[in-house]
């Protein structure tokens, strides 16, 4: 999944540190944080509290990384994408919708959809 010609914007270690920082801020404790090859999504949260992120996320902007991190950590408290989830996401990442649109444009420009 790592695109040739692209360097990681963030190291795996720095990314995992950001996850832990956000976990403390949100008040959750993941049972494990993993980076792995994922082809269809940026992250996942298991019912047992394991959070996995796509390695390709390390190529994306810090804003998009933050959005993905907060999104998955919130799933430790709220399993769905209902009003409460979106409200909490907005409180932690106020401009998450703009970040999502901007990142999708950047990803399409690079040729990954």
Q: Which residues contact 67 (CB under 8 A, 6 or more apart)?
A: 93, 96, 99, 100, 103
Considering the entire predicted model, what is its pTM? 0.84
Higher pLDDT, 103 or 85: 85
Question: What are the pLDDT digits (tens) for 41-69?
Answer: 899 999 999 999 999 899 888 889 999 99
- Alpha carbon distance 101, 105 (integer Å): 6
List the domain boundaries for the chain: 12-110
Right CATH for 12-110 from 3.30.2010.10, 3.50.50.60, 3.40.50.1000, 3.10.620.30: 3.30.2010.10
């Amino acid at each position: 999944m790592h695109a040739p010609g692209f360097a990681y914007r963030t190291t795996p270690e720095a990314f995992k540190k950001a996850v832990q920082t956000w976990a403390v801020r949100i008040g959750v404790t993941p049972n494990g944080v993993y980076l792995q090859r994922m082809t269809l999504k940026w992250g996942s949260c298991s019912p047992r509290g394991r959070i996995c992120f796509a390695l390709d996320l390390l190529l994306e902007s810090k804003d998009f990384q933050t959005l993905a991190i907060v999104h998955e950590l919130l799933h430790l408290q709220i399993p769905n994408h209902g009003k409460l989830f979106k409200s909490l996401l907005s409180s932690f990442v106020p401009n998450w919708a703009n970040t999502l649109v901007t990142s999708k444009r950047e990803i399409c420009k690079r040729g990954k959809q």
